[in-house]
Amino acid sequence: MNQVEFLEIVSPFKDKLYRLAKRILISNDEAEDAVQEVYLKLWKAKTNIKNYGNVEAFAMTMTKNFCLDRLKSKQASNLKLVHTNFPTSGNIERNLEANEGVAMVLKILEDLPEQERIVIQLRDVEQLEFSEIAKILDSNETAIRVALSRARKKVRNLMIKKYNYGIG
């Protein structure tokens, strides 16, 4: 396999890998490094790449594992979850309220268990199918659905509690 063939296979999902890495690692630089490392590993295994049923799912799994390993390393003790992909428009008051809401959700997401954060990222942000998420996380679809449901319920309940200032 030459470089052109390799790039034709792996380029279409480069942005997905980056977004997943950024969701887990926070830092743009760390996420770029993670994607670069995954691409390097894929390049080294290029002779076997066509044997994988779903190269994208395999690459997403590699990215997730690399990022989680990176977080576990002592060098990465200061990394945390952030999200800056919120579109802004129009009314200043509406934008301010929306930004506060997004900040609140992001704070809540930081407190979720890692598995639930990743499931929300893959399903709600990346819009992957449950079967793809199950392959990436090496789990079954039922467990993914349960984790997603629990994570959404936690986020919803905490948002309601915060918007009601703890009343209700």
Look up the domain containing 112 and give its range. Answer: 98-168
| pLDDT tens digits, one per residue of 74-83 | 555 554 544 4
Shared-domain flag, residues 74 and 106: no
pLDDT at 69 (0 to 100): 86
Please, what is the average pLDDT of the chain?
Answer: 81
CA distances for 77 relative to 21, 22, 63, 118, angstroms: 16, 15, 19, 18
Which pair of structure tokens corresponds to residue 142?
């039922």
Distance CA 72, CA 82 (A): 18
Q: Is the pLDDT of residue 135 over 50?
A: yes
Higher per-residue pLDDT: 102 or 150? 150
Q: Is the pTM of this model over 0.85?
A: no
Give the rounded percent of residues in the chain with a pLDDT score beyond 70. Answer: 83
What's the CATH code of the domain at 74? Answer: 1.10.1740.10
Q: Is the pLDDT of residue 73 over 90?
A: no
Which pair of structure tokens corresponds to residue 30?
């760390």
Q: Which residue from 159, 32, 28 is spatially nearest to 84, judged by alpha carbons?
A: 28
Residue 75 lies in a domain: yes
